[in-house]
Structure 1
Amino acid sequence: MARFYHRSQAAQALAPPSRMLDFGKCPPIARSPTTSPLSPARRSRSTAGPGWAAAPSDSRYDEATRFRSERTTMTTTTTKLPAVNAIEAGSEGWGFFLCAGKEVRTGRNGQFMALQLQDATGQIEGKVFQDVEQLREEFDAGEFVKLQGRGNRFNERTELIIEKIRRVDPSRDAEQGFSEETCVPSAPRSTDEMWDALIVLVGSVENEFVRTLLTRMIETHEDALRRWPAAQTVHHAYRGGLLEHVLKVADVATSLAGLYEADRDLVIAGAILHDIGKLQELDYDLATKYSLEGNLVGHITLGVVLVRTEAAGIGGFPDALRAQIEHIIVSHHGSKEFGSPVEPRTVEAFLLAAADNLDAKIHQVRKHIAEDRGDDEFTAYHRRLGRSLYKPASD
C-alpha cells in the first residue's frame, strides 16, 4: 500500500554572506585563506537572515563550507515571492516550493540545473546557472526547498532564476510560514467529495459481475486512488488528479452512452479502470516519476493484468465480459500511433477513448491559458497541442 511522506531533513546551520549576491556576476570562489571573504574578522559579524543560523567560527569552517553558505543562505530580505500562478518577470524574493523535478543540462554557456518547482497554485520552471556541481547535492527531487530568486521571461514563458537554494528544515522554517499544504498542488475538489462520488458511481452499476469487480478494485487500491496524479506532467498532474480525471471521463462517457444507446455498465467500468495501471506505472512521493514497471511495461498492460487478476477471483465471471472490459483499457488511447496496442472495436471503447481524450485536452487548454503571462490575446505556442490558444478578455 502506498504511503505519503516527505524526505525533508534539517539543513546544516550556515552563515549567510554579508551582501546580496548579484546573480550572474558572482565572483569566483577564493581559494586562498588570505583572500577568503569569510576571514575571522569578517565572520565575527553575523548577518543571518530569518530562519538561518550564524556559521561556526573555528578553523574547520573551510572553503567548501563557505561555498555552501554563500549559495544556500538567504539574505536579510523580507520580500516573499508571490504564489506560482502570480509570479511575473521582475518578481523577486524568497519562497518555499516542492522540487518536483531536477535535471542538469548543458547549454551554450555550460551546465545549468533545470528544476520543476511547485506550490499549491501550480508549477514553474526554475534555473540555476552558477555553481551547478556544488548545488546539485544540496537537495533532491521530491524534497521541499527554500529559495531566493527572481522572475524572468524566456521563450514566452515565465521562469525563476534561482540565486540561492537549500532543502527545507521543517521545524525551523515553519516559523517563516512553511507548510506542506501550500507547496503541493492538489485537485480543486476535496478527496472525500470525489471518493463519495466514485462510490455512488460504482453503486449505480446494474451488472453484478461488473459491480463486484469495480468494488473490489477500488477497495484494494483506495489509498493510492485517493492521492495519485493522472500523469507526470501532461494532464491532472497533481495529488488527486487521477480520481478527478476518472470522474470527468465517467461523466462524459455515460452521457454519450445514453445518447448512443451503449452499455452504460461497460462504459463506467472503462472510465474507472482505463488508467488503473498508472498506480503501478507512476511512483508518487510528492514528486512523480516513472517506476521500473512503468518504463518497461506501461500502464495499459499493467492495468489489464490488474483487472484480469481481480476478475479471476470472482466465481463465474464471464470471459466475454472480461474481454470487453480489457478491450476498453487497451484501446483507450484511440490508435496505435498514440500507444494503444489495438484500436477501438466496440461502441463502448470508442466512447471511452473519445471521453478520455476530451478531458485530457480540455485540461491542457485551460491550464495553458491560466498560466500564460503574456499580454497578447493569444497564448504562447503549446507544443503538445500544436497551436497557440485564444484568451477571451475577462470582464
Structure 2
Amino acid sequence: MMALFKLPRIAEIDGSTTGWGFFLCAQKDLRPTKAGGSYLALVLQDVSGEIAAKIFDGAEQLDKQFNKGDFVKVSGRGNLYKNQLELVLENIRKVNPAKDAADGFREEDCIPSAPRPIDEMWQELLGHVERVRRPELRALLDRILAKHGPKLKIWPAAVTVHHAYRGGLLEHVLKIIQVGTALADAYEVDRDLIIAGGILHDLGKIEELTYEGAIGYSVEGNLVGHIAIGLGMLQEAAREDASFPDQLRLELEHIVLSHHGARDKGSPVVPMTLEAFVFAATDDLDAKMFQMRKHIADDSGDGAFTQFSKRLDRVLFKPPQA
C-alpha cells in the first residue's frame, strides 16, 4: 500500500516528511546489511534535486523490478542519518505512465534541471557568439553550435560533481563566459578566446556522458575522456575552413587541453598563455562555487558549520538564515 499523502519536492522534504511520490531513479545498488541480509541503496531525483533512499524489506525481489534510469513511484518517510537527509522507503515500483498520469505523474517533474529556462540561456549564448570580433572564430563557433547545439542545450556538466542536471553544461558555459570575460577585460587579455573556450572546453562531455534521465559514462567517455573528445571536435570544425589560422587553432587547442589547470587534475598540459590561465581559474572557480553552495544546502545539521567535505577538503560556514 502506498502512503496516503503525496510527498513534496525533494528540496522541501525533511526528517518528519511521510508520503508517496514520483521520482527518477538515478542510482541503484543492492548492498549487504551487517545482519547478513541486503538492502537497496538508491539516489532519487526530481526537478528540485536529489536524495539518497534505502529500502530493506524485499530488497532482492524489488531489485529485479526496476532499473537505474527508470521513473518510480515510492512511499516512505524522511530520515536524518549522520546529519544527512534520506528517504527510508516502504515500497517502490516502476512507473506506469498511462496509469500514473491520473495521480499527477509527469516526466518533466522528475528530471533535475537548471533553474533558468534552457531557451533563455541558449539565446544568451548566441548573443555572446555574435560579439566575437574575429569573423573566422565566430564562424567556427557557429558551425559547432549548429552541429552540436541540440545536445549542448540539455546536457549535464557532470555525473555528480557540479551542474549535474538537464541544462547544467549550458549553465556552466554561460557562467564561465560571464566571469571569464570580466577577468579578460580587467587583465587585458583576449575575450574572444575566453568566449570560445567557454563553448569548447567541455564540449566533449556531450559524448563522454550518456544522458537518458540518469547520467552515466559512455564507452568512449571512459576510454578517451572529454578533453580528448573535445579536442577532436575542435580540430574537425577547424578543418572545415581551409584558411582557419593555425596560430588561433593552437591557442584554442591549448585552452581545451589545459582547462583543468594541472596535470594531476587531468590536463595533459598546464596553462601557458594568459587566456588559458584566466580560463582555467574561471572554470575551477565556477565548479567550486557550485560544490560549496550544494554542500551547504545539503547539510542538515544544526551547527554553524557543515560536515567535512572530502572533495573540498574542509568544513564550510553556514550563513545564518534571515
CA distance in 2, matches of 1:208, 1:317: 10
CA distance in 2, matches of 1:326, 1:104: 43
**Letter matched to residue 204 of structure 1:** R
The answer to whether structure 1 residue 334 and structure 2 residue 224 are counterparts is: no
CA distance in 1, matches of 2:265, 2:201: 15
CA distance in 2, matches of 1:108, 1:345: 52
CA RMSD, aligned part only? Answer: 1.2
Q: Is the 8 A contact 1:94 1:147 kept in 2?
A: yes
CA distance in 2, matches of 1:155, 1:326: 45
The answer to whether structure 1 residue 248 and structure 2 residue 179 are counterparts is: no
CA distance in 1, matches of 2:175, 2:267: 21
For the residue of structure 1 that corresponds to 2:300, the secondary structure is coil
1:347 match? 274
- C-alpha distance after superposition, 1:107-154 (max 9, x if no partner): 423432211100111100111223222111111111110001111111
Structure 2 residue corresponding to 1:318, chosen from 239, 245, 253: 245
2:208 match? 281
CA distance in 2, matches of 1:181, 1:338: 35
Q: Structure 1 unaligned runs (5+)?
A: 1-73
Structure 1 residue corresponding to 2:140, chosen from 197, 213, 235: 213
Moved more, 374-383 or 134-143: 374-383
2:28 match? 102
**Letter matched to residue 87 of structure 1:** I
CA distance in 2, matches of 1:260, 1:129: 57
CA distance in 2, matches of 1:122, 1:321: 40
CA change 1:295–1:107 in 2 (3 A) is: farther
Q: Is the 8 A contact 1:85 1:371 kept in 2?
A: no
Moved more, 119-128 or 294-303: 119-128
CA distance in 2, matches of 1:203, 1:372: 41
CA change 1:149–1:348 in 2 (3 A) is: same
Q: Is the 8 A contact 2:203 2:226 kept in 1?
A: yes
- Normalized against structure 2, the TM-score is what? 0.97
Q: Is the 8 A contact 2:76 2:89 kept in 1?
A: yes
**Letter matched to residue 200 of structure 2:** L
1:79 match? 5
- C-alpha distance after superposition, 1:174-199 (max 9, x if no partner): 11111112211111111111000010
Aligned residues: 321
For the residue of structure 2 that corresponds to 1:221, the secondary structure is helix
- Normalized against structure 1, the TM-score is what? 0.79
For the residue of structure 1 that corresponds to 2:145, the secondary structure is helix
CA distance in 1, matches of 2:68, 2:83: 26
Q: Is the 8 A contact 2:39 2:60 kept in 1?
A: no
Structure 1 residue corresponding to 2:81, chosen from 154, 163, 173: 154
Identical aligned residues as a percent: 53
Larger Rg: 1
1:112 match? 39
Structure 2 residue corresponding to 1:165, chosen from 74, 81, 92: 92
**Letter matched to residue 183 of structure 2:** L
Q: Structure 2 unaligned runs (5+)?
A: none
1:378 match? 305
